Chain A
Amino acid sequence: MCEVDRSARQLPAVEGAADVNILTVVDVTKRYGHVVALDGISFSIRKGSITALLGGNGAGKTTTLSILLGLLIPTSGSVTVFGEDMLLNRYCVLGRMNFASPYVDLPKRLTGRQSLNVYGHLYGLRDIKNRIARLSSDLEMQPFLDRPASGLSAGQMTRLMLAKALLNEPDLLLLDEPTASLDPDTGDWVRGYLQRFARETGGTILLASHNMGEVERLCDRVLMLRAGIIVDDDSPSDLIRRYGRQNLEEVFLDIARNRRTGTLQGKSQ
Chain B
Amino acid sequence: MSAPGTEAASRAPFSWRRLMAINLRHLYVLRSSWPRILELAYWPTVQMILWGFITTFFTQHSTWLSQASAVLITGVLLWDVLFRANLGFAVPFVEEMYARNLGQLFISPLRPYEFVVALMMLSGIRTLIGVLPASLLAAPLFDVWVYGMGLPLIAYFTNLIVMGWSIGLVASGIIIRNGLGAENLIWFSVFLLAPVSGIYYPITTLPTWLQPVAKILPSSHVFEGMRAVLFEGRFDVPHLLWAIGLNFVYLALASLFFLTMFRSARRLGLILHQGE
Contacts and interface: CB of A to CB of B under 8 A. Distances in A.
Interface of A: 1-3, 30, 32, 62-63, 66, 69-73, 91-99, 101, 103-110, 114-115, 117-126, 131, 164, 167-171, 201-202
Size bin of chain B's contact surface: 35 or more
- Interface hub of B18, B100, B275 (most chain A Cβ within 10 A): B100
A254 B44 CA distance: 65
A87 to B, nearest CB: 10
B108 A122 contact: yes
A131 B18 CA distance: 18
B10 A91 contact: yes
27 contacts: A2-B11, A32-B269, A66-B269, A70-B266, A71-B106, A71-B107, A72-B266, A92-B10, A93-B10, A95-B6, A95-B9, A103-B272, A104-B101, A105-B99, A106-B101, A107-B95, A109-B33, A115-B25, A118-B21, A122-B22, A123-B6, A123-B108, A124-B8, A124-B10, A168-B3, A169-B2, A202-B1
B269 A117 contact: no
Nearest to B106: A71
B119 to A, nearest CB: 15
A126 B99 contact: no
A169 B2 CA distance: 5
B267 interface: yes
Contacts of B263: 73
Contacts of B216: none
Interface string B1-23: 11111111111110101101110
A108 B99 contact: yes
A170 B269 CA distance: 24
Contacts of B131: none
Contact of A71 (B2, B103, B110): B103
Nearest to A110: B28
Contacts of A91: 10-11, 13, 109, 111
Contacts of A121: 17-18, 20-21, 24
Interface string B98-140: 0111011111111100000000000000000000000000000
